[in-house]
């Protein structure tokens, strides 16, 4: 029976690969038909295909706090469920605090509760709107408050939106449903790992105190038609022209180009009057129509290069060398035609996962730190560490790419796999 099942799975896989290759052929070798079509893709009109803020802006992971012990939990389902519970809380008045170091540490020392963590700072006003928090009378200064974590204290019913770097936080009381939260985080199906804090080199970040095993994944990759990105990004699709010698352009001075050698794409334009100039809200207005091809796209960080959205697999961000599975939105200077905007991505996207039982073990956080220190990494240049998946080399014969779990280090404004960074450091690139 197992051999029969295996043969059926192999046959289905071959069929999927053939379909993927056929679609890719029509996309790449017969683009003119779709490129001259002046109607907006019907797929983009389908509300079910539009990315939701409730998914895109979810935090990255959850920390449970029970009797002073902390455990790390990652996964879109548990984060979504925790966020739904929080969204049903009826909140009282907001209080803004800028605390001394001692008072700040005392408030943040929560024995029983949980916290939702972002990789990078996030805007309170955007968070409140995305998750429809029941909070009234939010001032402009509170709307524009940046925070990195949401801390829920079961003992006093308080929720804190915390900026650790500035020792500032928003405090708001609510009718916290402790039992719902506890039932969620105590589920036997959830995998959790112990974490610790107060490691000097990590700053406000936690260290995972055990090794972690994650599955290796393989995916069928498909190259998406240019029109999907055109329809998502351009303000005026009907007045868009295309020529094989030049990128898409229109009479609003928007332009769009794709490198056929590697699928990288870029868009340049000006923010329309109907789009927000807030860099998080505004960037989302450009990427929300990519739901058909980026169903797992989520906000990752707001860095100097722009607002970064990444594809997530099993709750972990995907990292690639030429923007596969990623969208970067950068706002530029104000000009006579409006504020400029640039978007970067890639037409190659993950489509169908291929089952595999191969597991890869990753070292605990402080072992990673020791490797970096021994290799001569500068502590001041280590901005962050996260676990994610590396987008491997594409096998062009079957359009399959391997995704390998790995530690990624944000070092000198660049995200690199641990092995690559160690190799660079050993070469003297410090």
Mean confidence (pLDDT) of the chain: 84
Collapsed DSSP state (helix, strand, coil) of residue 41 = coil
Give how far Cα 128 sits from Cα of 22, 91, 123, 413, Å.
44, 12, 9, 29
Q: What's CA 315's distance to the chain center, in Å?
A: 9
CA pair distance 382, 209, nearest whole angstrom: 19
- H or E element: which one contains 105? helix 101-108
- pLDDT tens per residue across span 43-94: 444 555 789 999 999 999 999 999 989 999 998 999 999 999 999 999 999 9
- pLDDT tens per residue across span 141-170: 999 999 999 999 999 999 999 999 999 999
Element counts in the chain: helices (H) and strands (E): 13, 25
Query: pLDDT value at position 167?
Result: 94
pLDDT at 9 over 60: no
- Going by pLDDT thresholds of 50, 70 and 90, the confidence category of residue 13 is low
| DSSP character at residue 212 | E
pTM of the model: 0.86
CA pair distance 119, 429, nearest whole angstrom: 26
CA pair distance 289, 294, nearest whole angstrom: 9
Higher pLDDT, 14 or 361: 361
Average pLDDT over residues 355-371: 93
pLDDT at 4 over 70: no
Q: What is the dihedral of CA 128, 130, 134, 135, to 10 degrees?
A: 20
Collapsed DSSP state (helix, strand, coil) of residue 240 = strand
Query: pLDDT value at position 428?
Result: 78
What residues have CB less than 8 Å from 11, skipping those under 6 apart?
Answer: none
pLDDT at 21 over 60: no
- pLDDT tens per residue across span 326-354: 999 998 877 766 788 899 999 999 998 98
SS3 content of the chain, % helix, strand, coil (to 5): 30, 40, 30
- pLDDT tens per residue across span 246-291: 566 665 677 888 888 888 999 888 876 666 667 888 899 889 988 8
Q: What's CA 17's distance to the chain center, in Å?
A: 27
In degrees rounded to 5, what are phi and psi of residue 314? 55, 35
DSSP string, 147-165: EEEEEEETTTTEEEEEETT
pLDDT at 26 over 50: no
Query: pLDDT value at position 28?
Result: 40
Q: Which of 29-43, 294-308, 393-407 has the lowest mean pLDDT?
A: 29-43
CA pair distance 40, 227, nearest whole angstrom: 9
Give how far Cα 250 sits from Cα of 27, 91, 138, 237, 270, Å.
22, 47, 40, 8, 12
Collapsed DSSP state (helix, strand, coil) of residue 310 = strand
Residue closest to 233 by CA, chosen among 220, 249, 245, 217: 249
- Going by pLDDT thresholds of 50, 70 and 90, the confidence category of residue 363 is very high
Q: Do 18 and 213 form a contact (C-beta atoms < 8 A)?
A: no
Residue closest to 293 by CA, chosen among 389, 227, 228: 228
- pLDDT tens per residue across span 104-153: 999 999 999 999 999 999 999 999 999 999 988 889 899 999 999 999 99
- Strands 240-243 and 306-313, sheet pairing: unpaired
CA pair distance 64, 190, nearest whole angstrom: 12
């Amino acid at each position: 029976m197992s051999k029969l099942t295996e043969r059926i799975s192999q046959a289905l896989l071959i069929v999927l690969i053939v379909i993927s290759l056929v679609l890719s052929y029509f996309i790449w070798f017969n683009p003119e038909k779709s490129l001259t079509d002046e109607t907006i893709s019907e797929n983009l009109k389908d509300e079910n295909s539009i990315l939701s803020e409730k998914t895109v802006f979810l935090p990255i992971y959850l920390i449970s706090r029970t009797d002073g012990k902390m455990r790390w939990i990652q996964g879109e389902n548990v984060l979504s469920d925790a966020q739904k519970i929080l969204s049903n809380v009826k909140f009282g008045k907001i209080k803004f605090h800028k605390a001394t170091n001692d008072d700040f540490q005392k408030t943040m020392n929560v024995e029983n509760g949980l916290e939702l963590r972002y990789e990078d700072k996030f805007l309170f006003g955007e968070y409140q709107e995305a998750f429809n928090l029941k909070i009234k009378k939010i001032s402009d200064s509170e709307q524009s408050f940046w925070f990195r974590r949401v801390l829920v204290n079961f003992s006093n019913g308080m929720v804190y939106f915390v900026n650790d770097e500035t020792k500032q936080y928003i405090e708001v009381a609510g009718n916290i449903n402790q039992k719902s939260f506890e039932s969620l985080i105590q589920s036997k199906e959830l995998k959790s790992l112990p974490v610790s804090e107060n490691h000097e080199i990590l700053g406000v970040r936690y260290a995972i105190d055990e090794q972690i095993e994650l599955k290796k994944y393989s995916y069928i990759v498909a190259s998406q038609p240019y029109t999907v990105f055109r329809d998502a990004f351009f303000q005026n699709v009907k007045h868009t022209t295309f020529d094989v010698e030049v990128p898409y352009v229109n009479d609003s001075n928007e332009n769009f180009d794709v490198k056929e050698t590697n699928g990288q794409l870029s868009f340049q334009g000006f923010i329309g009057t109907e789009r927000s100039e807030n860099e998080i809200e505004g960037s989302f207005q450009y990427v929300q129509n990519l739901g058909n091809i980026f169903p797992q796209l989520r906000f990752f960080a707001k860095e100097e290069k722009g607002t970064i959205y990444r594809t997530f697999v099993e709750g972990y961000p995907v990292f690639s060398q030429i923007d596969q599975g990623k969208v970067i939105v950068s706002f530029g200077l104000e000009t006579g035609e409006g504020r400029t905007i640039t978007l970067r991505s890639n037409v190659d996207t993950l489509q169908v996962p291929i089952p595999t039982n191969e597991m890869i073990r990753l070292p605990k956080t402080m072992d990673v730190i020791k490797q970096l220190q021994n290799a001569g990494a500068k502590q001041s240049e280590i901005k962050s560490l996260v676990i994610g998946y590396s987008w491997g080399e594409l096998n062009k014969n079957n359009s399959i790419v391997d995704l390998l779990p790995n530690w990624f280090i944000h070092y000198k404004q660049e995200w690199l796999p641990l092995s690559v960074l160690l190799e660079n450091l050993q070469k003297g690139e410090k």
